[in-house]
A = this chain, B = another copy of it.
Amino acid sequence: MSYRGRAKEFLKSQNISIGDIISIKKDDTEYMGMLLDRAEDADELHIVLKMDSGYNVGIALTGSEVKLLEKGDKPEINLPLLEIKRDPEKMDVSIISTGGTVASIIDYKTGAVHPAFTADDLLRATPELLDEANISGKAIMNILSENMKPEFWVQSARAVADEITEGADGVVVAHGTDTMHYTAAALSFILETPVPIIVTGAQRSSDRPSSDAFINLMSSVAMAKSDIAEVTVCMHATENDNQAHIHRGTRVRKMHTSRRDTFNSINSPPLASVKDGRVKIIDKTFTPRKRGECQLDVNDSLEEKVGFIKSYPGIAAELLDYHIDNGYRGILMEGTGLGHCPDHLIPSLERAADEEIPVVMTSQCLYGRTNLNVYSTGRKILSSGVISVGDMLAETAYVKLVWALGQTNQLEEVKTIMQTNLKGEMDEKSSSKYFLRDYGE
């Protein structure tokens, strides 16, 4: 096992091994659960228990009273999960790990969190997943999601496609939460999928008592077994630990730095909820693609040279010129209100149009839709060639522009792609009733 120093000696002296059921009394509280393995760089004081609640808890041995309750049947070194016997009655779900908190451990010495676990480790920490489906795990990269780049979207999409080709009935992508919505949008546009693809993560790492990794993974696997062959995001629905929401991959955004219910559908209700393994549709206006309705297809040509500019009161036209002068092939703007920017930017917007560089306008309000026909500034912006994309999220529109420019270099075709609803990312009709958490119910 990976416990070292004092922890290792202590466990050895008590004849306690990984997988054993033990109790730890500390400060009037008793913790009971299965001893889990610790990560390589852990300190010598803490041991980790998996409790019945599904939570993992790390406890310092100092001042603790530890009792062995029951010897487990797990070997100290877990076998690779792929050797777990496949149950032909169960569906096959693949979990692909890209890194992030869902796959990370706390370093108790510094208090910082960094990515560590592999997908197999996830399974070791959450063996309950194996009751739900035949699970196979694969770690394809190990990065915090703030470091995600478009090229990693392609890597992830190809890994997902490989799993589908190899027979997976559903694929779960474990991902850091910072840019999870960008990746979910990218997978939405890159992949035509005959099976559910669910991107999930955790706001608290899986060895912390408040970790959301367990419910998020369990709910993702339930969704992976469903009939909804869309790219979705699965995360906590509320601050409670009893249900998850399923969001369209093109309609979702991280809205809180730390809450577990941080992901919210914008301009639409969540697609569905998952409670006790049951998937229940919430958004009855959206018709999701069904399992097997289309063939697997991968369109992973991207144009990475796309700028992302937020309009603000002191913005200089030179910022747009900088992008034009430096080979950017497209620009995503987050305008104010209905999709505005100061009118001193208009000559630079016209320059972009002259040089066949699409400028796509979204709104920094987040909710609602761009409409450049209402105000005089908007009309001027529109006639300078800017592409208005209605109720599409800025982050989704950025990803879509990166993808659209990979599909064609014709400005008019880019415009058509941007203004056509491909993956539920935009709606023709007003969605102003979906605001904050008011779904107009």
Hey, which bits of chain A sit against chain B, CB under 8 A? 110-114, 144-150, 153, 177-179, 182-183, 254-259, 261-262, 264, 304-308, 310-315, 318-319, 322, 326, 334-344, 363-371, 373-379, 395, 398, 402, 432, 435-438
| Contacting residues, chain B, for A264 (C-beta < 8 A) | 436
Docked pose: A377 CA to B115 CA in angstroms: 11
| Contacting residues, chain B, for A336 (C-beta < 8 A) | 145-146, 178-179, 254
Inter-chain contact A341/B146, CB cutoff 8 Å: yes
| Contacting residues, chain B, for A367 (C-beta < 8 A) | 255-257, 259
- Within the complex, the shortest CB–CB distance from A178 to chain B, in Å, comes to 4
Contact status of A256 and B368, CB under 8 A, knowing A310-B308, A340-B144, A436-B437: yes
- Within the complex, the shortest CB–CB distance from A347 to chain B, in Å, comes to 14
Inter-chain contact A365/B310, CB cutoff 8 Å: no
Docked pose: A177 CA to B111 CA in angstroms: 43
Docked pose: A232 CA to B65 CA in angstroms: 56
Docked pose: A402 CA to B313 CA in angstroms: 11
Inter-chain contact A147/B343, CB cutoff 8 Å: yes
Inter-chain contact A114/B376, CB cutoff 8 Å: yes
Considering the complex, give the chain B residue whose CB is closest to the CB of A341. Answer: B146
Inter-chain contact A337/B435, CB cutoff 8 Å: no
| Contacting residues, chain B, for A254 (C-beta < 8 A) | 336-337, 364-365
Docked pose: A13 CA to B342 CA in angstroms: 45
9 example contacts (A-B, Cβ-Cβ < 8 A) are as follows: A112-B378, A112-B379, A144-B377, A147-B343, A178-B338, A182-B312, A255-B366, A256-B367, A318-B326
Docked pose: A258 CA to B378 CA in angstroms: 14
| Contacting residues, chain B, for A146 (C-beta < 8 A) | 311, 335-337, 340-343, 375, 377
